[in-house]
């Protein structure tokens, strides 16, 4: 009996010690994860540390830093910086000056993607690797509209490169690294998150862009560098900062990797960029549109017009439809649509989910080749001219004025006419027009030389 009593006493004492230890050490430690003001709250609060506090970027940095290069461009510039797209040092005297940016090696045999504005107008391009080896680079091709360029070096060995990732899979808040050469400081890595997707900066004269926005620090010299995910995959090409001072203030933008990869592949295979279009005109749904058109949807792209002969028309898309998804990609605004379509080529088929009269429909649309171009700053839309049209107006070259976008312009005199020159530069295709409008100094007037419907040669100036 005495033995049993002793065992019972020991058991009780052991239980008390265990309970006391739990209360003193374990429970008290768990409570430390709760903010003081929420301990008695009826709102559920996690008792575990926040995810990502121990995120490790070393592997991604090691994978990518050797594949990001320093790009030097020697060119002749006149005037000062014109926009957030510019870089380097400028001199009003028009002397040869050296600008610097970054580039990303994408193949072991030396193909490098960078920004068009980094190599634009270069008389000589020099590329320096992370191991200090230097090579002369050749420009393979570029697309001023997207600000992507492809250059190549002939190295004496296989180079380290960064594989492309899928930018469609990015999530808001996802960790990313920006790798580049800001202020000529080689091999700089900064960390941040995805702040926004499909961001349209509205700083250029052509169609909306679709950028990745990040708070990873990007400064002059980072242009053309890599934006990579935690696995070291290329998910963007760093392109611009939004800053009144020209230095980083918390906002930076990158061309999505899917768009950059498609442009690079086009340049390598076709020599230029193959642009497919859905064949609609429209815009993001706004509060004004909801009120005026009595829309039931608050997000998506409202179709205001369908281009005759386009894939959209042939598939059955109609005016007043609201596009909600393309290939399971959510379309909440117009830059979502343009960003995804810009990663496709003419002839590709996409699944378009739309709402019509309150009912959902899904249509298969074959993308057609871009053959018209809107120039908002001129208030004109142009198209490639046929040889018959050029002969009719006795124009040696040019593009046809398809329609006017402004009521202030004399449409009866302009529409159907042929634009032969812009700022004294000959144009033979809408591609020429794109490049001239992209590279112009925005503060300077625009002069077009055109043949009107009567075949008379005219000049107009936009200031």
Q: How far is CA 430 from CA 420, 426, 436, in A?
A: 11, 11, 10
Q: What is residue 164's DSSP assignment?
A: B
Alpha-helical segments (H) within 218-341: 257-270, 287-293, 311-315, 334-341
| Nearest-angstrom CA–CA distance, 372 and 319 | 19
Question: Which SS3 state, helix, strand or coil, does residue 462 take?
Answer: strand
| Nearest-angstrom CA–CA distance, 323 and 130 | 46
Given 70, 102, 117, 120, which residue is catalytic?
117
Q: What is residue 416's DSSP assignment?
A: T
The tokens describing 69, both together, are 């290069």
Given 223, 257, 310, 335, which residue is catalytic?
223
Torsion region of 52: left, alpha or beta (phi above 0 gives left; psi -120 to 50 gives alpha):
left
Phi, psi of 6 (to 5 degrees): -65, -45
Query: Is 439 a known active-site residue?
Result: no
Query: Is 223 a known active-site residue?
Result: yes
Query: Is 117 a known active-site residue?
Result: yes
How would DSSP label each residue in 228-244?
A: EETTS-EEEEEEEE--S
| Nearest-angstrom CA–CA distance, 147 and 115 | 5
**Looking up tokens 């906002």, which residue turns up?**
251
242: Cα separation from own chain's centroid: 14
Cβ neighbours around 247 below 10 Å, total:
13
| Nearest-angstrom CA–CA distance, 122 and 73 | 6
Question: Which SS3 state, helix, strand or coil, does residue 421 take?
Answer: strand
Phi, psi of 142 (to 5 degrees): -155, 165
Given 143, 147, 266, 336, which residue is catalytic?
147
Contact 285, 252 (CB under 8 A): no
Which candidate, 293, 308, 348, places its Cα nearest to that of 326? Answer: 348
- Annotate 395-411 with b (16+ C-beta within 10 A) or e (fewer): beebbbbbbbeeeebeb
CB within 8 Å of 129: residues ≥ 6 apart: 66, 69, 135, 159
The tokens describing 32, both together, are 């430390």
Contact 99, 119 (CB under 8 A): no
Beta strands in 156-200 (DSSP E): 175-180, 188-199
The residues carrying an active-site annotation are 117, 147, 223
């Amino acid at each position: 009996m005495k033995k049993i009593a002793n065992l019972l006493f020991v058991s009780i004492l052991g239980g008390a010690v265990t309970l006391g230890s739990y209360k003193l050490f374990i429970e008290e430690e768990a409570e430390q994860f709760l903010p003081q003001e929420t301990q008695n709250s009826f709102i559920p609060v996690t008792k575990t540390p926040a995810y990502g506090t121990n995120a490790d970027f070393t592997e991604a940095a090691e994978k990518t830093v050797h594949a990001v290069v320093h790009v030097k461009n020697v060119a002749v510039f006149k005037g000062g910086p014109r926009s957030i797209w510019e870089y380097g040092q400028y001199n009003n005297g028009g002397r040869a000056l050296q600008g610097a940016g970054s580039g990303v090696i994408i193949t072991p045999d030396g193909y490098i993607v960078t920004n068009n504005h980094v190599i634009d107008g270069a008389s000589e391009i020099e590329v320096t690797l992370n191991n200090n080896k230097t090579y002369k680079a050749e420009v393979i091709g570029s697309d001023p509209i997207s600000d992507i360029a492809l250059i190549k070096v002939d190295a004496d060995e296989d180079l380290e490169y960064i594989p492309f990732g899928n930018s469609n899979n990015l999530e808001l808040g996802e960790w990313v690294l920006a790798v580049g050469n800001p202020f000529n400081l080689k091999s700089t890595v900064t960390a941040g998150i995805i702040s926004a997707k499909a961001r349209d900066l509205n700083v250029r004269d052509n169609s909306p862009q679709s950028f990745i926005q990040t708070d990873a620090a990007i400064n002059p010299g980072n242009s053309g560098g890599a934006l990579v995910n935690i696995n070291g995959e290329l998910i963007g090409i760093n392109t611009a900062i939004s800053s009144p001072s020209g230095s980083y203030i918390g906002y930076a933008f990158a061309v999505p990797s899917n768009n950059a990869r498609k442009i690079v592949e086009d340049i390598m295979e076709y020599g230029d960029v193959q642009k497919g279009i859905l064949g609609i005109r429209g815009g993001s749904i706004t509060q004004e549109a909801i009120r005026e058109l009595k829309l039931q949807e608050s997000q998506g792209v409202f179709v205001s017009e369908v281009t005759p002969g386009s894939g959209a028309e042939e598939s059955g898309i109609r005016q007043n439809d609201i596009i909600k998804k393309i290939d399971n990609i959510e379309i909440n605004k117009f830059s979502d649509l343009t960003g995804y379509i810009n990663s496709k080529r003419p002839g590709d088929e996409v699944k378009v989910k739309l709402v019509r009269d309150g009912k959902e429909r899904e249509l298969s649309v074959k993308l057609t080749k871009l053959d018209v171009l809107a120039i908002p700053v001129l208030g004109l839309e142009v198209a490639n001219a046929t040889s018959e049209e050029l002969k009719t107006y006795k124009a040696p070259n040019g593009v046809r004025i398809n329609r006017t976008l402004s009521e202030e312009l004399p449409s009866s005199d302009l529409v159907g006419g042929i634009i032969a020159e812009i700022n004294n530069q000959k144009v033979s295709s809408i591609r020429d027009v794109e490049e001239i409008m992209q590279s112009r100094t925005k503060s300077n007037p625009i002069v077009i030389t055109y043949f009107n419907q009567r075949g008379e040669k005219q000049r107009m100036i936009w200031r």
